[in-house]
Amino acid sequence: MRIATRLPGERTLAAGDADRIAHIRGALIEIGNEWRARHPWLAAHQDQVGLGFFLVAIAGVLGDGYLYAIGVLPWWATILVTGFWLSILHELEHDLIHSMYFRNNRVVHHVMMFGVWFFRPSTINPWVRRRLHLHHHEVSGTDSDLEERAITNGEGWGAHRTISLLDSVLGMYTKPFRTHHLVRTYIAHEARTPEEARHLAAINLMSYFPLGVFHYTLWHLFIGINLYELFAGPTSIPGAGILTFLAVTILAPNAVRTFCLHFVSSNMHYFGDVQAHNVMQQTQVWTAKWLKPFHAFCFNFGETHAIHHFLVRDPFYIRELIKRDCQQVLRDNGVRFDDFGTFRRANRFGLAPTPMEP
């Protein structure tokens, strides 16, 4: 089996871990290559496959909305089915961030980037997220990993973590000093000049503008109206019917999808006592059956994301198709599976005692 080359940061690791990481990466490359050899058409048309998923998922969201509007789909089914389509759009965004589709056709690439954002307005601007996510790969599990820290990775369980997973914006507003600290730590690590630091501060401040502002304003208004009516009785509010339609077809599906993704991601990534660049310590694999409802709305993120940390190359649908063979490689080489003790340890890997973040 071919041994993959070590990445630059991995050259500072102890020989045992560095060799094991290289061995795992080489095995994953071989598994992916064998799949591509068996399915040459799909492998040769990655752009078109990605675009196909993009169009089908958007058609699914629009179709669900139409079926709900004419009374065919009940509200609860609309939310659940639409949440599944949105999980595909999230995976496409992630692949687009890594330039896996239309690398040489920037017009289509950016149209897809906007499309996955437009139908998932609860997320930050994907062009902003690109830098955050690439930074996450460089520093996963350490203090400046803003992408994971912002969704509560490393925080002890309590009211704030629960609120943040249910609603990212409320999480920021209820602990503004924590949010400020996380952003400043990220900028201090990422920026090379004072001008770049100011630029990063500005774009991160505007990361939810305008779609996120639109989404959360309407979502909080919808929740507020329903809470008021729960205690005060029915009211007649202009536009309430349109707001309810948007809540069922876009706002609530995104809220469900975001909660499931953030719950899985923030707990399967380790934080705090992770050695820099040591992929063996960055993630675990979640395969327990009780996670199926969560995985339904984040496209099996917990089962496949560790593969991505070792090998970025493969798009989401290939990772899903080869996950069984890849998981066996990870298991055989010491990557953790279903380590739910992480809930008690505030996502610490457990190498050394580290105080929980309050």
- Helix then strand count (H, E) for the chain reads 18, 0
Q: Which two tokens stand for residue 343?
A: 């809930």
Q: Which positions ≥6 away from 112 have C-beta within 8 Å?
A: 50, 51, 54, 92, 96, 101, 102
Instruction: Decide which of 15 and 299 is more confident.
Output: 299
Give residue for tokens 């090998």: 311
Residue 356 belongs to a domain? no
Residue 266 belongs to a domain? yes
Contact 278, 323 (CB under 8 A): no
Our count of domains for the chain comes to 1
Is the per-residue pLDDT at 195 higher than 50? yes
Q: What is the pLDDT of residues 283-294, one digit of tens each?
A: 999 999 999 999
What pLDDT, on a 0 to 100 scale, did the predictor assign at position 95? 98
If DSSP codes are grouped into helix, strand and coil, which group holds residue 283?
A: strand
Contact 314, 46 (CB under 8 A): no
Other CB atoms closer than 10 Å to residue 87's CB: what's the count?
A: 25
What pLDDT, on a 0 to 100 scale, did the predictor assign at position 358? 47
Q: Could you tell me what percent of the chain has a pLDDT over 70?
A: 95
Residue among 166, 163, 144 nearest 154 (CA): 144
The Cα 51–Cα 24 span in angstroms is: 30
Binned at pLDDT 50, 70 and 90, residue 352 comes out as low
Is the per-residue pLDDT at 196 higher than 50? yes
Q: Which two tokens stand for residue 95?
A: 């692949």
Residue 357 belongs to a domain? no
What pLDDT, on a 0 to 100 scale, did the predictor assign at position 22? 93
Residue 1 belongs to a domain? no
Summarize the confidence of residues 30-58 as an average pLDDT. Answer: 95
Rg (Cα) of the chain, in Å, rounded?
A: 21
Contact 123, 129 (CB under 8 A): yes
Domain range for 227 is 8-343
What pLDDT, on a 0 to 100 scale, did the predictor assign at position 279? 95
Is the per-residue pLDDT at 5 higher than 60? yes
What pLDDT, on a 0 to 100 scale, did the predictor assign at position 339? 96
β-partners of residue 357 are: 155
Binned at pLDDT 50, 70 and 90, residue 6 comes out as low
Residue 80 belongs to a domain? yes
What pLDDT, on a 0 to 100 scale, did the predictor assign at position 239? 87
Look over the chain and give the mean of its residue pLDDT values, rounded to a whole number. 94
What pLDDT, on a 0 to 100 scale, did the predictor assign at position 157? 94
What pLDDT, on a 0 to 100 scale, did the predictor assign at position 176? 94
Is the per-residue pLDDT at 155 higher than 80? yes
The burial class, CB within 10 Å (0-12 / 13-18 / 19+), for 127 is middle
β-partners of residue 269 are: 283
Residue among 173, 131, 171 nearest 151 (CA): 171
Q: Which positions ≥6 away from 341 have C-beta within 8 Å?
A: 350
- Phi, psi (5° rounding) for residue 306? -60, -35
Summarize the confidence of residues 148-160 as an average pLDDT. Answer: 96
What pLDDT, on a 0 to 100 scale, did the predictor assign at position 8? 66
> Where are the alpha helices (H) located in 98-175, listed in sequence order?
106-118, 126-139, 146-149, 159-166, 168-174
Q: What is the pLDDT of residues 279-321, one digit of tens each?
A: 999 999 999 999 999 999 999 999 999 999 999 999 999 999 9
Write the DSSP symbol of residue 251: I
CA 311 to chain centre: 17
What pLDDT, on a 0 to 100 scale, did the predictor assign at position 233? 83
Q: What is the pLDDT of residues 205-250, one digit of tens each?
A: 999 999 999 999 999 999 999 999 889 888 888 889 999 999 999 9
Binned at pLDDT 50, 70 and 90, residue 3 comes out as low
H or E, element range at 356: none
